[in-house]
Amino acid sequence: MAKAGGRETAAAEEVVLWREEARRFETPDGEAYLQYRLLAAAQPRSSSSSGDGGATTPAAVMEMAHTYVPGSKRGRGLAARLCDAAFAHARRRGMRILPTCSYISETYLPRNPEWNELVITEKEPKPSSM
Name the DSSP letter for residue 123.
T
- Helix %, strand %, coil % of the chain (to 5): 35, 20, 45
Residues with a catalytic annotation lie at 101
- Measured over the CA atoms of residue 84, residue 85, residue 91 and residue 95, the dihedral's sign is negative
Max intra-chain CA distance, the chain: 65
Beta pairing, strands 61-68 & 96-99: parallel
